[in-house]
Amino acid sequence: MPIALRAASGKVTKHEKACLDNQHVFIPFAFDTFGFLAPEAVDLLSRVQRVMHSNVMTPRSMDVVFKRLSFDIQKGVAAQLVARLPTISM
């Protein structure tokens, strides 16, 4: 089972009851560092993308959501890698 699916399942286990008790819908948003998105995340992003496209209507508006998310994930992974680099004292 991919890591993102396990993470999504864990998030549901942890938060779903509290959300239901407060009459909220819980949608887990999970992904891994290799770009795999849990199906719920893809569905949510696709809905956001459709709304943006219907309101903006530019040629690039159809894929801007997934491109931006991909960039943000890459940026976060890079920041974690840089933070783990050994420091060199001179």
* Residue 12 forms part of a structural domain: yes
Domain that holds residue 30: 3-83
Domain assignment present for residue 61? The answer is: yes
In a domain, 89, yes or no: no
* pLDDT at residue 57, rounded to an integer: 65
pLDDT of residue 60: 66
Q: What is the pLDDT of residue 18?
A: 94
CB-based burial of residue 7 (10 Å sphere; 0-12 exposed, 13-18 middle, 19+ buried)?
Answer: middle
Give the global pTM. Answer: 0.63
Q: Is 90 contained in some domain?
A: no
Q: Spell out the alpha helix ranges (H) of 22-63.
A: 39-56
- Determine, yes or no, domain membership for 88: no
Counting the structural domains of the chain, the total is 1
Q: What is the pLDDT of residue 20?
A: 92
> pLDDT tens track of the chain, all 90 residues?
778 888 889 998 999 899 999 999 888 888 887 778 888 888 988 888 888 778 776 766 667 887 888 888 888 888 888 888 887 766
